[in-house]
Amino acid sequence: MTWRAPQPPADPPSPDVGDVRPILQGYLDHHRLTLLRLCAGLTAEQLALRSTPPSTLSLLGLVRHMTKVERTWLRIRTAGQDIDPLFPDSDEDFDDLDAAAAEQALTNLSTEWAACDEAVAPLPLEYCVDVRGQPVTLASVYIHLVEEWARHNGHADLIRQAIDGTTGR
């Protein structure tokens, strides 16, 4: 039997009023699950398919990239955890693909989300970190991540449509 990316859980209801942190977390979680929905039902080989040359974009590459992005911004930069970055070569997350590792990449993404959420949970939104010599608040990090997810989910939607015609996930 051929492995296929599983269907993620439904989006939990996201607040649009009240404290800002649950609102930011809700938008972040929505975009996280959107990528999983765009991958759902595809084989490992389909996840590794490249978009249009010369681009190296693929759904598997986006999964790996967003795992790296979350780790870098939330655990390493914001929470200050002394852990290794993922894919230290600048485009390794997109370039060094192996379809056989797709299932593990999706597992790694979900595991990283939990670790990221746990790492920043005790920090207030006003918590400041230094990013390349500039102070950045945790609130700004959340907004940056929502933007990054939204942009890459747009790429993922186009890639998925090219694979099998599926849209609107």
**Could you state, in order of their start, the residue ranges of all structural domains in the chain?**
20-164
Instruction: Find, among 166, 141, 146, the residue nearest to 59 by Cα.
Output: 166
- How many Å apart are CA 36 and CA 59, to the nearest integer? 10
- How many Å apart are CA 83 and CA 76, to the nearest integer? 7
Structure tokens that stand for 100 in this block: 């056989």
Q: How confident is residue 11, by pLDDT bands cut at 50, 70 and 90?
A: confident
pTM above 0.85, yes or no: yes
Q: How confident is residue 169, by pLDDT bands cut at 50, 70 and 90?
A: low
Q: How many CA atoms lie within 13 A of 125 on its CB side?
A: 11
> Which of 7-21, 34-48, 55-69, 117-131 has the least mean pLDDT?
7-21
Please give the DSSP secondary-structure letter assigned to residue 132.
Answer: T
Q: How many CA atoms lie within 13 A of 164 on its CB side?
A: 13
- How many Å apart are CA 63 and CA 5, to the nearest integer? 12
Task: Return the SS3 of 129.
Answer: strand
Helix (H) or strand (E) holding 128: strand 128-131
* Topology (CATH) of 20-164: Four Helix Bundle (Hemerythrin (Met), subunit A) (1.20.120)
Q: How many residues does the chain have?
A: 169
Q: How confident is residue 114, by pLDDT bands cut at 50, 70 and 90?
A: very high
Does pLDDT of 97 surpass 80?
yes
- How many Å apart are CA 132 and CA 43, to the nearest integer? 39
When pLDDT is averaged across residues 14-42 and rounded to a whole number, the result is 94
When pLDDT is averaged across residues 94-107 and rounded to a whole number, the result is 94
Helix (H) or strand (E) holding 120: helix 102-120
